[in-house]
Amino acid sequence: MADKLRVAVVFGGRSSEHAISCVTAGGVLEALDRSRYEVVPVGITAEGAFVLEDDEPAKFSLDPQRMPAVADNGTRILWPDSASSREVSVRLATGEVRSLGEVDIVFPILHGRFGEDGTIQGMLELIGMPYVGAGLLASALGMDKHFTKTVLQQAGLAVAPWVAFTPAQWRDDEELWRRRVRGLGLPVFVKPARAGSSVGITRVSSWSGLDDALKTAFAEDGTVLVEQAVVGREIECGVLSGRDGGAPRVSLPGEIVVSGREFYDYEAKYLDDSAARLVCPAELGEGELLELQRLAAAAFEAVGCSGLARVDFFFTGSEFVVNEVNTMPGFTPISMFPKCWLASGMTYPELLDELIALGLAADR
């Protein structure tokens, strides 16, 4: 049998989605076929230290009472200092340096800023290390909701009306920005431009709640969006790059059915099992399904994605409105992205195999 591929699974990170990244990594660590892959688990602490983590998937399981985290164990991952080598080493807490061997590909299971936003992608490209997922530009675009919507709108795709501004712009002409926000009508969603997992998002149904919502969003990022609420079903599709330059492949869609909450917030996603159901495949007519898949592929290409993405829509009954393009979606076995591909005939381990193959073939 040929030598195993050595895969560095990178997770954790400095963003507010640190714990969710750990949960996602737990699913990936458990499912990677150890007869095909040698796995190097690399954790990033909340302070940004790269450490050699334990290869124990159960350590990173989802527990609402005690969310997992990468602790600083004193080790430090030493990446290659140039593109001439792919050898990765670890400096142990004792000071001893030990080689971990040449890494064939990095699987960056990072959500949020300082990982999903092009930062680690840029680092890996500088040292010539292949990796899974979107490149630097698409990662940065997909992380920033304002620029994602700008690009999608330019590509002719329907998005919800919005305004975006910084604290300085708000202070300079608060009356102007309040007028623009009120022009969207109620209700609105107030969102940090660069955050995921619904962190920092507030649904505002009365203008009296706007200021508190802005404060919550600005705590996450220096740019905030206020977006017109769209009434419709929440439908999502998984997208994979085509092989050998082929067209993107789009999964069957899934639907999020929320009960007892105003929207699909952080608690509904991760902490309250009764708050939402993920229905896959979603019930759509044949023509609706084909149109949804066409739009998902168009959004994937408009943002310049590669590898994988999850494209989220609101379906009003007559129109699909793109909500978001997520370049590193949640990846536990029960997350929407793998569930959609399972419904489309691809198992979770097969999906990981495909993503690694796409990463190795990517032309960076």
The residues, ordered by sequence, that sit 6+ positions from 77 with a Cβ below 8 Å of its Cβ are: 42, 50, 51, 52, 88, 89, 90
What CA–CA distance (Å, rounded) separates 67 from 233? Answer: 30
Residue tagged active-site, from 116, 221, 324, 353: 324
Tokens 């705590």 label which residue? 219
Please give the backbone phi and psi of residue 9, each rounded to the nearest 5 degrees, phi first: -95, 115
Q: Known catalytic residue: 312?
A: yes
73 is catalytic: no
Catalytically annotated residue among 310, 323, 354, 359: 310
Query: Does the active-site annotation cover 310?
Result: yes
Please tell me which residue in 236, 255, 312, 353 is annotated as part of the active site. 312
Q: Which entry of 16, 306, 326, 344 is annotated as an active-site residue?
A: 326
Active site residue 47: no
Distance CA 172, CA 178 (A): 12
Q: Which helix (H) or strand (E) holds 11?
A: strand 5-12
Q: What dihedral do alpha carbons 148, 149, 153, 155 form, nearest 10°?
A: 20
In one-letter notation, the amino acid at residue 18 is H
Could you identify the residue written with the tokens 């195993």?
Answer: 4
The crossing angle, in degrees rounded to 10, of helices 286-303 and 145-154 is: 110
Catalytic-residue membership of 197? yes
Range list of H helices, 63-218: 119-126, 136-143, 145-154, 167-172, 174-182, 210-218
**Of the listed 197, 241, 251, 335, which one is catalytic?**
197
- Strands (DSSP E) along 265-361, which ranges? 276-279, 308-315, 320-326
Q: How many whole angstroms from its chain centre is CA 221?
A: 17
Let me know if 16 is a catalytic residue.
Answer: no
Catalytic option among 12, 17, 144, 255: 17
Name the catalytic one among 13, 196, 330, 359: 330
Provide the sign of the torsion angle of the four alpha carbons 54, 56, 62, 63, taken in this order: negative
Q: Is 37 helix (H, G, I), strand (E, B) or coil?
A: strand
Q: Cα separation of 10 and 331, whole Å?
A: 13
The residue from 241, 251, 254, 270 that is catalytic is 270
- For the residues of 172-198, what is the DSSP string, one character each? HTHHHHHHHHHTT-SSEEEEESS--TT
The verdict on whether 37 is a catalytic residue reads: no
Has 102 been annotated as catalytic? no
> Could you give the count of Cα atoms lying within 13 Å of 290 in the half-sphere of its Cβ?
2
The residues annotated with a catalytic role in the active site are 17, 197, 270, 310, 312, 324, 326, 330
